[in-house]
């Protein structure tokens, strides 16, 4: 009788575990919340709201938090310290991205009827061409926790002018674009200098996107982002 009871308890426990809320999953292995590693860092996670090219909150972004692989977060902390020494601060727009978010981008790009954000985010390119043009990846380094989208702000939090908005899919978003004013090119150069000094590498089509090669090859994850305690 006790044996049957024990089996029943185990079965119920396994069943309950299968339906635990996503927040119980915690962070992917080896990850950290950037705010825990770099206290006070500015975060404006666009995909957790509607101010983005997708036009609404993106699946997997249950909280406006930046997560990264711990060594990447540590390196970003060193960049933040360097920036503050120059009277500047980092502002983070995206860090770890659950795979389900990228999958949602794929479905969005295939829907010709959803053009609500075209004028602001991809005015000169058809949305179906965004993948081929290199602006969206079906397998993103963001999902490995080794990439970050960011800019620079003044000490009081005002974002610097970079000549094009974050996530604008256009040639003028290329880091070396000469189609933006000299002041914006200078700001892009400062960001690149700060990031590269700590091991980050820029993606040339997007002045805001940096990966961290020293972290090595990492697996992608699909753990949804949830608020920390």
Collapsed DSSP state (helix, strand, coil) of residue 155: coil
Measured N-to-C along each axis, helices 70-85 and 182-196 cross at an angle, to the nearest 10 degrees, of: 130
Angle in degrees, CA 193, 212, 61, rounded to 5: 110
From the candidates 65, 80, 196, 206, which is the catalytic residue? 206
- Looking at residue 28, the DSSP 8-state letter turns out to be P
Q: Is 80 a catalytic residue?
A: no
By the 10 Å C-beta count (0-12 exposed, 13-18 middle, 19+ buried), 64 is classed as middle
Torsion of Cα atoms, 104 then 106 then 110 then 113, to 10°: 30
Q: Which of 152, 57, 66, 184 is nearest to 108 (CA)?
A: 57
The catalytic residues are: 206
């Amino acid at each position: 009788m006790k044996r049957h009871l024990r089996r029943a308890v185990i079965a119920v426990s396994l069943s309950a575990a299968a339906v635990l809320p996503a927040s119980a999953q915690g962070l992917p292995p080896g990850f950290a919340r950037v705010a825990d590693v770099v206290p006070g860092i500015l975060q404006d996670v666009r995909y957790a709201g509607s101010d983005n090219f997708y036009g609404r909150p993106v699946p997997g972004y249950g909280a406006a938090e930046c997560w990264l692989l711990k060594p990447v977060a540590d390196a970003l902390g060193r960049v933040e310290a360097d920036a503050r020494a120059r009277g500047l601060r980092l502002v983070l727009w995206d860090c770890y991205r659950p795979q389900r978010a990228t999958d949602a981008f794929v479905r969005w790009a295939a829907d010709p009827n959803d053009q609500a954000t075209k004028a602001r985010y991809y005015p000169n390119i058809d949305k179906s061409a965004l993948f081929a043009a290199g602006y969206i990846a079906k397998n993103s380094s963001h999902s490995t926790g080794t990439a970050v989208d960011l800019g620079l702000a003044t000490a009081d939090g005002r974002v610097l002018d970079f000549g094009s908005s974050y996530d604008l899919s256009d040639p003028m978003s290329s880091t070396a674009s000469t189609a933006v004013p000299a002041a914006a090119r200078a700001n892009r150069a400062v960001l690149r200098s700060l990031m590269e000094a700590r091991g980050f590498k820029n993606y040339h089509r997007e002045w805001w996107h940096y990966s961290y090669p020293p972290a090595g090859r990492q697996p992608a994850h699909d753990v949804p982002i949830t608020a920390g305690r």
